[in-house]
């Protein structure tokens, strides 16, 4: 059994491999060749301990991610998401690897947003907005630049000093110009793609700020009580999810809009995997708004962990 460190994950899980792995997992989910219950979330006061198991039939691998989510860790200088992924052979049950879950989550989450952007954003998208300035903001800037030739990204977060540090940290490794915004409204002005990667409990992105034709990756809210988008924006958009079953339990952006009467049952157009396999329609016109509600699902983790394991053990280049 291999122990795969964060260094190994960052070395071997390139953005191209990560997108391919996430696509494999979501396609399997759409084609019912996977077994994936909705994750178990154990409350730890304001924090969460999660268990996320899955079996992927197409690659014959099973596993589970164990993860803690502690939003206040950002103030402690620690990652908000920490954990590990245990990987097993699906045919013989042999333990294959234990993989660093923090690094894997950072990469696969951004890779899922990049995949959604590739399939749902307008082909001519050039202006990116990032709401948030943490790990996921970093990974999203890098990942999305691999699927669209963005010229610039405007960045906003509640703490301006973190935005300044983010820009200083990321400018040397970015192909696009990074600019600090004084407000979320200013950040999304003229944006073609918006990524919300915050720990917000209430909306930080309002309908009236978003122009027609925008694609939104909504990443930060992963509990039924939390939301980053206001209800009218959700109502105005074509709404996609990574897992329909998970969205019914955990997607606060969707559930709270439905509870408020902004949307009705059936507002979800489909899972991203269903778009990939042609079972659900994607963007229908240049003017419509699309939202990808990314809760993060176990098939993404297991497929990504196996991609790292396979690349390391088979000496692939």
Q: Model confidence over 198-252: pLDDT tens digits?
A: 989 999 999 999 999 999 999 999 889 999 999 999 999 999 999 999 999 999 9
pLDDT digits (tens, 9 = 90+) for 124-146: 999 999 999 999 999 999 999 99
CA distances from 165 to 10, 15, 67, 170, 204 (A): 22, 24, 27, 9, 21
- Distances, alpha carbon 209 to alpha carbons 214, 280, 292, in Å: 11, 28, 18
For every one of its 317 residues, what pLDDT tens digit does the chain have, with 9 covering 90 and above? Answer: 999 999 999 999 999 999 999 999 999 999 999 999 999 989 999 898 999 999 999 999 999 999 998 888 877 888 888 999 999 999 999 999 999 999 999 999 999 999 999 999 999 999 999 999 999 999 999 999 999 999 999 999 999 999 999 999 999 999 899 999 999 999 999 999 999 999 899 999 999 999 999 999 999 998 899 999 999 999 999 999 999 999 999 999 999 999 999 999 999 999 999 999 999 999 999 999 999 999 999 999 999 999 999 999 986 54
- Residue 138's nearest CA partner among 175, 183, 169, 100 is 169
Domains for the chain: give ranges and CATH numbers: 2-105+299-313 (3.30.1780.10), 110-296 (3.40.50.720)
């Amino acid at each position: 059994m291999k122990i795969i460190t964060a260094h190994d994950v960052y070395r071997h899980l390139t953005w191209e491999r990560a997108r391919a792995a996430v696509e494999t997992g979501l396609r399997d989910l759409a084609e019912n060749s996977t077994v994936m219950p909705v994750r178990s979330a154990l409350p730890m006061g304001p924090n969460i301990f999660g268990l996320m198991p899955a079996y992927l039939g197409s690659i014959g691998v099973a596993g589970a991610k164990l993860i803690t989510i502690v939003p206040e860790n950002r103030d402690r200088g620690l990652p908000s998401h920490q954990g590990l992924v245990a990987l097993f052979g699906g045919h013989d049950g042999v333990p294959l690897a234990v993989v660093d879950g923090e690094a894997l989550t950072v990469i696969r989450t951004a890779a899922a947003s990049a995949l959604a952007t590739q399939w749902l954003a307008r082909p001519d998208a050039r202006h990116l907005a990032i709401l948030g300035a943490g790990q996921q903001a970093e990974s999203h800037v890098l990942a999305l630049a691999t699927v669209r030739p963005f010229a610039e990204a405007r960045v906003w977060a509640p703490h301006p000093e973190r935005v300044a540090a983010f820009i200083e940290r990321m400018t040397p490794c970015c192909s696009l110009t990074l600019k600090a915004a004084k407000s979320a409204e200013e950040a999304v002005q003229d944006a073609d793609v918006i990524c919300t990667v915050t720990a917000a409990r209430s909306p930080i992105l309002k309908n009236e700020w978003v122009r027609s034709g925008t694609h939104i990756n909504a990443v930060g809210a992963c509990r039924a009580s939390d939301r980053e988008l206001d209800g009218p924006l959700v109502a105005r958009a074509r709404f996609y999810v990574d897992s329909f079953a998970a969205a019914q339990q955990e997607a606060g952006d969707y559930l709270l809009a439905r509870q408020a009467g902004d949307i009705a049952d059936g507002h979800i157009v489909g899972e991203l995997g269903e778009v990939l396999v042609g079972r659900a329609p994607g963007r229908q016109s240049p003017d419509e708004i699309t939202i990808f509600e990314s809760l993060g699902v176990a098939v993404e983790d297991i497929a990504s962990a196996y991609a790292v394991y396979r690349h390391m053990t088979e000496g692939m280049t």
